[in-house]
């Protein structure tokens, strides 16, 4: 009976309450379907978090023990927001009020769950942001990015983790992403990467609200909105020039800041989450599997996975490079003492990388099931890029990367791209490979426009520590940085003595420091 009650609560959260932390206004919700779907996915995975499940086991009805939400006059909201300690300008208007009501009235139950998680994640985020000299109130971005869920995945873009990094951005900020490890899910490493990204954006805009907007939609979209608004650099003046999702992003940020600071005034009590606040991390130089640790030490595998979400298959690949393992502090000594015993336990099963089966629940990006689909091959031609190919075949860009083991967006003429399509449409899609560029564009209702080569234009001297990139039409500094591993915007700007990143010119030659992929 107890299990039935727990399932009822989880079903209630995942269906009736999916969509919290989206914009509250009905019209905006209808317009913002993509964002709603993403947040719904975040919430679905959040209620499946091991620690949240344990909390609901202890008291499955806590989410129902609630009172009606309180609405305050605008003057109260304005006064309270003004009292929040923040160097980031927090405005108030009716859009923000609607978002506040999402947290405090419409979606109280899941907000209570998220409040239970903040005591675990916020101190870590604050420490990292303080290290980089960033305003600690930027921590509220993690609330609207992932609902404080390190396993959140955007099925549309493949953005993953607490800070919702897409593949290319995660790699460009030093995160390891492969079939075994996805450091976008590592709360600490991902927060360091987010801090560096935010710092680079601030170097461009010198305005925290624009930085937050650019984090959501990319600096290219913000720059376009600024240009189309007569070079105005105020968020609210460029508001209607921004993508719809980003129009809701800043109001969500301000509303989250308000709700987290004033939830007691709305009679909201956090769901108590029994995180092991006392944990420690040990670096391993040899492979070990979380299941080995679980079975030998008698620890819950679910808890080990919750503490180490970056290991997609459960394997900690210490032999590849030193890898961190987080354990409850009271078990660390036993782990050190039993290290050899744990590692030798069923090693032929758990340490054979060739036979390991990935756990779909931990995958960085779970592509659509290819079972029953038809496999096609497309040969890359002059002018092609992954974006075009994904549109022609109506498949996700992240799917293409996953199927073809493509780390960034670089493809080359003559390269064969694997694509999986619905068998019912396979015959039509099979013709695409022999079409002209104009015919392929016409098939999706677009006009053919001359495009850039498929790969960056590079030159390099033998043994040089730099490569050079020739700026092409449509390039931005941010686009260029994404083409290279472990290079930041600030480094490229500094190396090339660029003070205004918006004034790079077609044909300009930029030096890029070589880095070895992690």
List all residues 6 or more positions away from 378 whose beta carbon is below 8 Å from its beta carbon: 389, 393, 416, 417, 419, 432, 433
Q: Where in the chain is the domain with CATH 1.10.530.10?
A: 2-266
The tokens describing 273, both together, are 């989450």
Alpha-carbon distance of 12 to 56, in angstroms, equals 12
Q: What's the CA angle centered on 52, arms 178 and 279, to 5 degrees?
A: 65
pLDDT digits (tens, 9 = 90+) for 267-315: 888 888 777 667 888 999 999 999 999 999 998 888 899 899 999 889 9
pLDDT of residue 361: 37
Burial of 186 (0-12, 13-18, 19+ CB in 10 A): buried
Alpha-carbon distance of 314 to 351, in angstroms, equals 10
List all residues 6 or more positions away from 409 whose beta carbon is below 8 Å from its beta carbon: 168, 385, 386, 387, 482, 483
pLDDT of residue 396: 77
Q: Tell me the CA distances in angstroms from 330 to 36, 186, 280, 294, one per residue in order.
A: 41, 21, 9, 15
pLDDT of residue 296: 93
Whose structure tokens read 């015993």?
341
pLDDT of residue 410: 67
pLDDT of residue 466: 77
Just give the CATH number of 458-513: 3.10.350.10
**Composition of the chain by helix, strand, coil, percent to 5:** 50, 10, 40
* pLDDT of the chain, 518 residues: tens digit per residue: 544 454 444 444 443 333 333 333 333 333 333 343 444 445 445 666 666 777 667 666 666 656 677 899 999 999 999 999 999 989 899 889 988 988 888 878 778 888 888 888 999 999 999 999 999 999 999 998 988 988 888 766 788 899 999 888 888 898 999 888 999 999 999 999 999 999 999 999 999 999 999 998 888 889 999 999 999 988 989 988 998 888 888 998 999 999 999 999 998 888 887 776 678 889 999 999 999 999 999 988 888 998 999 998 899 998 888 899 999 888 888 999 998 899 889 888 888 755 454 443 333 344 445 667 888 999 988 778 887 898 899 887 767 877 776 655 667 778 888 898 888 888 999 999 999 888 888 888 877 654 444 444 444 444 457 777 877 755 677 767 767 766 777 778 878 888 766 677 777 888 887 754 43
The three-state secondary structure class of 117 is: helix
Burial of 492 (0-12, 13-18, 19+ CB in 10 A): buried
Cβ(100)–Cβ(94) below 8 Å: no
pLDDT of residue 220: 87
pLDDT of residue 37: 42
The three-state secondary structure class of 282 is: strand
Q: What is the DSSP secondary-structure string of 443-471?
A: HTT--------SS--EE--TT-SEEEEE-
Q: Where in the chain is the domain with CATH 3.10.350.10?
A: 374-443, 458-513
Alpha-carbon distance of 161 to 187, in angstroms, equals 8
Alpha-carbon distance of 178 to 405, in angstroms, equals 9
pLDDT digits (tens, 9 = 90+) for 190-203: 999 999 999 999 99
Task: Give the full edge-to-edge strand order of the sheet including 458-459.
Answer: 458-459, 466-470, 509-513
Burial of 47 (0-12, 13-18, 19+ CB in 10 A): buried
Considering the domain 374-443, what is its CATH architecture?
Roll (3.10)
Candidates 179, 157, 182, 163; CA nearest to 171 is 182
pLDDT of residue 438: 86
List all residues 6 or more positions away from 230 whose beta carbon is below 8 Å from its beta carbon: none
Cβ(206)–Cβ(193) below 8 Å: no
pLDDT of residue 227: 92
Cβ(378)–Cβ(417) below 8 Å: yes
Neighbours of 19 (CB within 10 A): 21
Q: Is the pTM of this model over 0.75?
A: no
- Classify domain 2-266 at the CATH class level: mainly alpha
Q: What is the DSSP secondary-structure string of 390-418?
A: HHHHT--HHHHHHHHT-SSS---TT-EEE
Chain centre distance of CA 139: 14
The tokens describing 138, both together, are 């930027």
Q: What's the CA angle centered on 66, arms 60 and 71, to 5 degrees?
A: 150
Neighbours of 15 (CB within 10 A): 10
Alpha-carbon distance of 420 to 37, in angstroms, equals 23
Q: What is the per-residue burial (b if ≥16 Cβ within 10 Å, else e) of 352-367? A: eeeebeeeeebbbbeb
């Amino acid at each position: 009976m107890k299990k039935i009650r727990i399932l009822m609560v989880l079903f209630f959260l995942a269906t009736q309450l999916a969509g919290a932390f989206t914009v509250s206004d009905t019209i905006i919700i209808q317009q913002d379907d993509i964002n709603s779907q993403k947040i719904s996915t975040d919430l679905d995975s959040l209620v499946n978090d091991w620690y949240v499940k344990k909390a609901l086991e202890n008291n499955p009805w806590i989410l129902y023990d609630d009172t009606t939400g309180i609405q305050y006059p605008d003057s109260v909201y304005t006064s309270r927001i003004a009292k929040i300690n923040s160097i980031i300008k927090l405005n108030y208007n009716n859009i923000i009020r609607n978002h506040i009501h999402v947290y405090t009235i419409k979606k109280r139950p899941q907000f209570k769950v998220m409040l239970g998680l903040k005591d675990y994640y916020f101190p870590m985020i604050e420490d990292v942001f303080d290290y980089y000299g960033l305003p600690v109130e930027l921590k509220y971005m993690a609330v609207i990015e992932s609902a404080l869920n390190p396993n959140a995945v955007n099925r549309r873009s493949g953005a993953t983790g607490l800070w919702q990094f897409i593949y290319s951005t995660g790699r460009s900020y030093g995160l390891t992403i492969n079939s075994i490890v996805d450091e976008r899910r590592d709360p600490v490493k991902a927060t360091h990467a987010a801090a560096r990204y935010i710092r680079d954006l601030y170097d461009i805009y010198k305005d925290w609200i624009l930085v937050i907007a650019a984090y959501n939609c990319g600096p290219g979209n913000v720059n376009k909105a600024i240009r189309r608004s007569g070079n105005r650099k105020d968020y609210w003046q460029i508001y209607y020039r921004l993508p719809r999702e980003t129009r809701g992003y800043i109001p969500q940020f301000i509303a989250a800041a308000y709700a987290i600071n004033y939830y007691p005034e709305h009679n909201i009590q956090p769901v108590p989450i029994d995180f092991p606040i006392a944990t420690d991390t040990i670096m391993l130089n040899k492979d070990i599997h979380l299941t080995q640790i679980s079975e030998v030490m008698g620890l819950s595998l679910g808890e080990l996975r919750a503490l180490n979400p970056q290991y997609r298959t459960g394997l900690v690949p210490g032999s590849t490079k030193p890898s961190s393992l987080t354990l409850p502090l009271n078990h660390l000594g036993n782990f050190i003492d039993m290290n050899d015993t744990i590692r030798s336990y069923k090693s032929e099963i758990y340490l054979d990388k060739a036979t390991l089966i990935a756990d779909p629940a931990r995958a960085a990006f779970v592509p659509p099931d290819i079972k029953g689909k038809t496999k096609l091959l497309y040969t890359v031609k002059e002018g092609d890029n992954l974006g075009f190919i994904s549109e022609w075949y109506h498949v996700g860009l992240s799917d293409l990367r996953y199927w073809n083991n493509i780390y960034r967006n670089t493809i080359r003429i003559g390269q064969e791209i694997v694509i999986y399509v619905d068998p019912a449409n396979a015959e039509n899609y099979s013709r695409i490979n022999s079409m002209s560029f104009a015919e392929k564009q016409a098939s999706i209702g677009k006009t053919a426009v001359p495009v850039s080569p498929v790969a960056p234009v590079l030159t390099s001297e033998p043994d040089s520590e730099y490569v050079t990139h020739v700026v092409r039409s449509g390039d931005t500094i941010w686009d260029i940085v994404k083409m290279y591993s472990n290079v930041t915007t600030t480094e490229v700007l500094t190396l090339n003595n660029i003070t205004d990143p918006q004034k790079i010119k077609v044909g300009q030659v930029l030096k890029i420091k070589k880095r070895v992929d992690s």
